[in-house]
Structure 1
Amino acid sequence: MTKYQIFTIDAFTDKPFGGNPAAVVPVPADQPLTETQLSQIAAEMNLSETAFLTPTNASGPNAFQEASQFKLRWFTPTTEVNLCGHATLATAYVLFNKLDNISSELRFDTLSGELVVRRGTDGYLDMTFPIDIPKPVDINDDVKLVVASIYGEYRDSIEVELSPFLKYLVVHDPNSSESDIIGLKPDISPEAYAGSAKGSSKDFHSRVFAPWVGIPEDPVTGSAHTVLAPFWQSRLGKKTFSAEQSSKRVGHLEVDIVSDSHVQVSGRAVVVLEGHIDV
Structure 2
Amino acid sequence: MPLPFYQVDAFAATPFTGNPAAVCLLQGDRDADWMRGVAAEMNLSETAFLAPQDDEATYRLRWFTPTDEVALCGHATLASAHALWTHEQASSEAPLHFETASGRLTTRRDDGWIWMDVPTDPVAPTDPPAPLLDALGDTTPKEVGWSGRDYLVRLPDADAVRALQPVFSSLNALEEARGTIVTAPAPADDVDFVSRFFAPRVGVPEDPVTGSAHCALGPYWAARTGHTTLTGRQVSARGGTVRVRLDAPDAERVTLGGQAVTVVEGRLNA
Looking at structure 2, the residues matched to 209 and 146 of structure 1 have their Cα atoms a distance apart, in angstroms, of: 12
Contact 1:243–1:253 (Cα < 8 Å) also in 2: yes
Which whole-Å CA distance do the structure 2 matches of 1:159 and 1:172 have between them? 5
Query: What is the deviation of 1:154?
Result: 6.5
Segments of 4+ in structure 1 off by > 3 A? none
2:195 aligned to which of 206, 211, 219: 206
Higher CA-based Rg: 1
1:17 Cα deviation after fit: 0.4
Q: Does 1:36 align with 2:33?
A: yes
Tell me which of 201, 210, 227 is aligned to 1:238. 227
1:153 matched residue in structure 2:
138
Match of 1:255 in 2: 244
Secondary structure at 2:165's aligned position in 1? coil
Aligned residues: 258
Partner of 1:244, secondary structure, is: strand
SS of match in other structure, 1:181: helix
Deviations 1:219-245 (A, max 9, x none): 000000000111111211111111100
1:138 aligned partner, one-letter code: D
Residue deviations 1:250-278, cap 9 Å, x none? 01111011352100000000000011011
Gaps of 5+ in 2: none
Partner of 1:6: 5
How far apart, CA to CA, are the structure 2 residues paired with 1:147 and 1:216? 17
Aligned to 1:17: 16
TM-score, length basis structure 1? 0.89
Alignment correspondent of 2:255:
264
> Which one of 123, 127, 131 corresponds to residue 116 of structure 2?
127
Q: Deviations over 1:85-111 (max 9, x none)?
A: 000000000000111101510110000
Counterpart secondary structure, 1:74 = strand
Distance in 1 between the 2:133 and 2:180 partners? 9
CA distance in structure 1 between the partners assigned to 2:232 and 2:133 by the alignment:
22
Structure 1 residue 200, shift from structure 2 partner: 1.3
Specify every segment of 5 or more residues in structure 1 that has no aligned partner in the other structure, as ranges. 59-66
Q: TM-score, normalised by structure 2?
A: 0.92
| Counterpart for residue 63 of structure 1 | none
Equivalent residue letter for 1:171? V
Q: 1:193 aligns with which of 172, 180, 185?
A: 180
SS in 2 for 1:248: coil
Q: How far apart are the structure 2 equivalents of 1:130 and 1:57?
A: 24
Separation of aligned partners in 1, 2:110 and 2:49 = 23
Please state whether the residue corresponding to 2:122 is helix, strand or coil.
coil
Q: Is this contact kept in 2: 1:24–1:87, CA < 8 A?
A: yes
Q: Residue 144 of structure 1 contacts residue 154 of structure 1 at CA under 8 Å; is this kept in 2? A: no
Question: What's the C-alpha RMSD, in Å, of the aligned pairs?
Answer: 1.3
Secondary structure in structure 2 of the residue aligned to 1:104:
coil
Q: What fraction of aligned residue pairs are identical, expressed as a percent?
A: 40
- Post-superposition shift, 1:138? 3.0
Identify which of 100, 108, 129 aligns with 1:118. 108
Match of 2:96 in 1: 106
* Structure 1 residue 35 displacement after superposition: 2.1
Q: Distance in 2 between matches of 1:124 and 1:186?
A: 33
| Structure 1 residue 185 displacement after superposition | 1.0
Measured against aligned partners, the alpha-carbon deviations of 1:23-73 in whole angstroms (never above 9, x if no partner) come to 000112xx3222221111001000000000011124xxxxxxxx1111000
Maintained 8 Å contact 1:49/1:76: yes
